[in-house]
């Protein structure tokens, strides 16, 4: 399929559903070839089928991005398939359950797991595929959250730390003309977010926004496409909030 990303390759983690799938479809419609990674093979199969239905192509990879050896094996496979990687979207993340309920009583092992998946894994993956990003003068997008701005939970803390990584990565990867930006969504209507948030909370949070509608996965995917396009190519070293101006940062469910 011809489009602004014809001949380009985009790697999207956490693409078994939700925002990751929305990125996959948005980039597929622009002609990109997709490399899709997640823990969930069924969801990856579904995303690949939807990408193909939209006229695109994709490879799928089941990988635990919280485990260093798996990140390296995956990166080796990607480098074996692709000399150039135009965009890496570090979208996979833990966001539901204990990680979103505060931060006391978690213990070292849980903290390490949360940080491994949400904060350190994205940097390790970018480091491991750097040669292909360098060849394309590519872009890294780290997936943050509006919860990173007033972190009140382990989730917000991992995402605030990811924002710091985004700054450091823009500088360090910048030596190879690789850009690094973050996208911080507000509450967006993905299946996972719908399952974790009561209907009245959706309405209450919408009431706090200046943009009076619910955020969608496509709002985030469209921002990703813009940042990766020629039109967005002077944007670097920023985490961009996309939340309809939600006034209640650090909100609780
Ligand atoms: N939907 C929202 O409102 C919202 C808001 C702010 C930030 N985010 C962030 O956007 C990203 C996607 O969120 P979503 O709403 O689409 O949720 P989602 O649960 O559908 O997507 C997260 C994906 O990450 C995958 N994943 C988790 N741990 C993994 C691991 N160790 N290895 C590989 N894959 C793993 C999951 O299997 C899942 O498919 C997350 O990083 C989330 O924190 C979402």
Q: For a pocket test of ligand 1, which of 11, 13, 14 has the largest count of ligand atoms closer than 8 A to its C-beta?
A: 14
First to last CA, the chain: 42
Give every CB contact of residue 26 below 8 A, 6+ residues apart in sequence: 218, 221, 222, 224, 225
The per-residue pLDDT for range 93-148, each reduced to its tens digit, is 999 999 999 889 999 999 999 999 999 999 999 999 999 999 999 999 999 999 99
Look up 149 and say whether it is catalytic. Answer: no
For a pLDDT cut of 90, what percent of the chain falls above it? 87
Distance 49 CA to ligand 1 centre (A): 20
How far apart, in whole angstroms, are the C-alpha atoms of residue 245 and residue 80? Answer: 42
SS3 assignment, position 205: helix
Q: Are strands 33-38 and 57-62 parallel, antiparallel or unpaired?
A: parallel
Structure-token match 């985009």, residue found: 10
Q: For a pocket test of ligand 1, which of 45, 117, 192 has the largest count of ligand atoms closer than 8 A to its C-beta?
A: 192
* b/e map 8-24, b = 16+ CB within 10 Å: bbbbbbbbbbbbbbbbb
The per-residue pLDDT for range 60-81, each reduced to its tens digit, is 999 999 999 999 999 999 999 9
In order of their start, the domains of the chain are 9-242 (3.40.50.720)
- The CB density around residue 241, as the number of other CB atoms within 10 Å, is 19
């Amino acid at each position: 399929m011809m489009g602004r990303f014809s001949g380009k390759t985009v790697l999207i983690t956490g693409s078994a559903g939700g925002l990751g799938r929305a990125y996959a479809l948005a980039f597929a419609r622009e002609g990109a070839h997709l490399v899709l990674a997640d823990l969930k093979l069924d969801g990856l199969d579904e995303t690949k089928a939807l990408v193909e239905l939209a006229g695109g192509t994709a490879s799928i990879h089941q990988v635990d991005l919280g485990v260093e050896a798996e990140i390296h094996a995956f990166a080796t496979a990607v480098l074996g398939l692709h000399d150039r990687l135009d965009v890496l979207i570090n979208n996979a993340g833990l966001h539901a359950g204990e990680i979103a309920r505060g931060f006391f009583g978690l213990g070292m092992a849980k903290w390490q797991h949360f940080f491994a998946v949400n904060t350190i894994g994205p940097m390790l993956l970018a480091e491991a595929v750097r040669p292909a990003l360098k060849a394309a003068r590519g872009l890294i997008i780290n997936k943050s959250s509006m919860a990173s701005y007033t972190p009140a939970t382990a989730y917000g803390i991992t995402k605030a730390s990811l924002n710091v990584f985004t700054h450091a990565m823009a500088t360090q990867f910048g030596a190879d003309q690789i850009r690094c930006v973050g996208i911080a969504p507000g509450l967006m209507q993905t299946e996972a977010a719908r399952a974790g948030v009561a209907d009245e909370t959706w309405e209450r949070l919408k009431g706090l926004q200046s943009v009076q509608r619910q955020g969608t996965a496509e709002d985030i995917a469209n921002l990703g496409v813009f940042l990766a396009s020629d039109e967005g190519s002077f944007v670097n070293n920023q985490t961009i909030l996309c939340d309809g101006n939600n006034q209640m940062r650090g909100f609780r469910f």
